[in-house]
Amino acid sequence: VRKSREETLNTRKRIVEVAAEELRAKGIDGAGVADIMSAAGLTQGGFYRHFSSKDQLVAEACDVASKTLSDALRAHSQGKPPHKARQDVISCYLSTSHRDNLSIGCPFAALGGELARADANIREVATEGFLRLTNILAEQAHGSESSRRSEALAATSAMIGALMMARVIKDETLSQEVLQAARDALCR
Amino acid sequence: VRKSREETLNTRKRIVEVAAEELRAKGIDGAGVADIMSAAGLTQGGFYRHFSSKDQLVAEACDVASKTLSDALRAHSQGKPPHKARQDVISCYLSTSHRDNLSIGCPFAALGGELARADANIREVATEGFLRLTNILAEQAHGSESSRRSEALAATSAMIGALMMARVIKDETLSQEVLQAARDALCR
DNA sequence: TGTACATCAGTGAACGCGCGTTCACTGATGTAC
DNA sequence: TGTACATCAGTGAACGCGCGTTCACTGATGTAC
């Protein structure tokens, strides 16, 4: 049942996209190759026609996930005055809906600890994705280039930590309190 | 080879302590019951004399890890003027040595994503541990009780995010930059 | 205090299970003439 | 353009492996008299 070249590329893309969701929802260890393939409407046997290992897929999925997130956040800042843009990006990232939708959200908040233990290639992809995120905030900050960069690194990692902890906390009131506190601290 | 009551309690304690290190170093999925038992000088068969499941051990290990961290950080703030205490707690948490010593460090930075997906009991223990951490900063802040609490929640989750991302980033310079940026942002 | 017996901490092997990966096979697609 | 053949995307079963958990067993500890 060989497929056409175009169809093959579409299949590959679909696997990566589905993997990006499954991995964020269940974790790197929690999402199996068979899970991902079946969520993509395929059987596990075909996996190695597209990827040389699960780690390679994880790297590509992590790349796609961070790009999708950056694009979504940049759309929230596009064509707004700097202060408003920053506020909207932060509010969007630290929202209840982002907290509750693991599978389409920030890969760093979902997988951070696992990424830190992952292989070199995955960590490189993750680092690039993190820098892409920080650039969104850095672009509309004021001050010297280095102070803007520094502030963006701190703000981005603070958002990641706050979203992650809001997900850890079971108590709804406290979870909201963490999101609100982080929004206040970053938009002050 | 039955052991005395005292020895049994010591063994149990040792398993939890060893587990707290193994789990932080390898992740919840990455650290197996057999790994942990053998690191404690035992064989895996004896595990269920002490715990009803791996999840129960994870909960207890998470509790111990967060208490150990809180105690260590509080020691850094004890008997110092508020501003200096805060600065020292933050510098200690956001240090290179904390970044490089996963197994004896912050369980939230090491396991955050996995804790968010863990069972209710583990998440409750994690939440208590997080609040214990925030209290260290809240105690020596100024302002109203609610603003101190809010600031402490934001600062603590920001530190967790920064430490975690500093561990994800492979490039040493950039990793240091993240730690420094977070220290600057929080001590300003 | 001494003896007989019940308890149970720890061992080591085994359980079923799901993992990542491999492989023989199928049949539509792509290529060569 | 048509035909013969090579390629290879996808299937489904199997591989070895390590996981969490169970279990029969051992022998020192704790208990009862």
Give the pLDDT band (50/70/90) at residue B188: confident
Q: Is the dihedral of CA A149, A115, A56, A60 positive or negative?
A: negative
Angle (nearest 5°) at CA B110 between B107 and B116: 80
Q: What's the Rg (C-alpha) of chain B?
A: 18
* pLDDT tens digit sequence for A149-184: 999 999 999 999 999 999 999 999 999 999 999 999
User: Which pLDDT score is estimated for A188?
Assistant: 85
* pLDDT tens digit sequence for A70-88: 999 999 999 999 999 999 9
The residue of A150, A153, A177, A186 whose CB has the most chain B CBs within 10 angstroms, and thus the best one to mutate to test that interface, is A153
User: Residue B28 CA to D16 C1' — how many Å?
Assistant: 24
Which of A162, A166, A167 lies closest to B158 in CB terms? A162
User: Which pLDDT score is estimated for B140?
Assistant: 86
Average pLDDT over residues B154-179: 98
Residue A77 CB contacts under 8 Å (≥ 6 apart), including other chains: A85, A86, A88, A89, A136, A139, A140
The residue of A28, A58, A157, A175 whose CB has the most chain B CBs within 10 angstroms, and thus the best one to mutate to test that interface, is A157
CB of B187 within 8 Å of a chain A CB? The answer is: no
Query: What's the CA gap between A58 and A169, in Å, rounded?
Result: 27
Paired tokens of A46: 């075909």
Angle (nearest 5°) at CA B96 between A65 and A166: 45
Determine which helix (DSSP H) or strand (DSSP E) holds B86, and give its type and residue range. Answer: helix B82-93
Cα distance from A93 to chain B (closest Cα, Å)? 14
pTM reported for the whole predicted model: 0.96
Nucleotides of chain C in contact with protein CB (under 7 A) are 7-14, 18-24, 26-30
Q: Any atom of strand C under 7 A from CB of A74?
A: no
Q: Is the pLDDT of residue B9 over 90?
A: yes
Chain A residues near residue B130 by CB distance under 8 angstroms: 165, 168-169
CB of B154 within 8 Å of a chain A CB? The answer is: yes
* pLDDT tens digit sequence for B42-96: 999 999 999 999 999 999 999 999 999 999 999 999 999 999 999 999 999 999 9
Residue indicated by tokens 């690039």: A128
Residue indicated by tokens 């009551």: B5
H-state helical runs in chain B: 5-26, 33-39, 47-50, 54-77, 82-93, 96-100, 107-116, 120-139, 145-168, 172-187
Q: Is the pLDDT of residue A140 over 90?
A: no
Angle (nearest 5°) at CA B11 between B5 and B12: 90
Residue B27's nearest CA partner among A50, A53, A29 is: A29
Cβ B30–A26 below 8 Å, yes or no? Answer: no
Using a 7 Å CB cut-off, which residues contact strand D?
A 1-3, 7-8, 11-12, 37, 42-46, 49-50; B 1-6, 31-35, 44-45, 47-48, 53-55
3-state secondary structure of A163: helix
CB of B181 within 8 Å of a chain A CB? The answer is: yes
- Burial letters B79-116, b for 16+ CB under 10 A, else e: eeeeeebbbbbbeebbbeebbeebeebbbbbbbbbbbb
CB of B87 within 8 Å of a chain A CB? The answer is: no
Q: Are B103 and B30 in contact (CB under 8 A)?
A: no
Residue B83 CB contacts under 8 Å (≥ 6 apart), including other chains: none
DSSP E strands in A7-99: the ranges are: none
